[in-house]
Amino acid sequence: MEIKHTPAPWVLVQDEKWPFNLHIKHDGASILSVGRYAYSSSDKTPSDVMSARHFKGSENQENAAKMNKQQLADMTLIAITPEFLDALYSVPLDGFMHTMWAKNIISVIAKARGEK
């Protein structure tokens, strides 16, 4: 089986300086980098960004905070993808190929390998 993706482990890293962008890295090299969805130039800490502390108006602040939390959750999920795929490879399917869950596992693996 030829692996076409960057193997695990992937690590989620946040910049230490404003605007505290997010990066998924493997062996120190960036695989994916994203700017924060919502931040203010007045934000001085990652906590400020996550809470959208310096956004004007409570509705804008609430929406910005939700967007930043969702972005962090999305990046965390992306970072565990190769480990999740490795776990799927280890599921024994012998004798269960006709079941829906086995077909789903095979389908997900095919999508991850770019075969579907």
- The tens digit of pLDDT for each residue in 18-35 reads 889 999 999 999 999 999
More confident residue, 13 or 55: 13
Encoded tokens for 69: 């939390």
Residue range of the domain that includes 54: 1-79
For the chain, the 3-state helix, strand and coil shares in percent, each to the nearest 5, are 45, 15, 45
Shared domain for 69 and 93, answered yes or no, is no
More confident residue, 6 or 14: 14
Share of the chain above pLDDT 70, in %: 97
Shared domain for 13 and 69, answered yes or no, is yes
Domain count, the chain: 2
Shared domain for 72 and 90, answered yes or no, is no
Shared domain for 69 and 105, answered yes or no, is no
Shared domain for 86 and 97, answered yes or no, is yes
Q: Partners of 23 in the beta sheet?
A: 13, 33
What local confidence, expressed as pLDDT, does residue 72 receive? Answer: 94
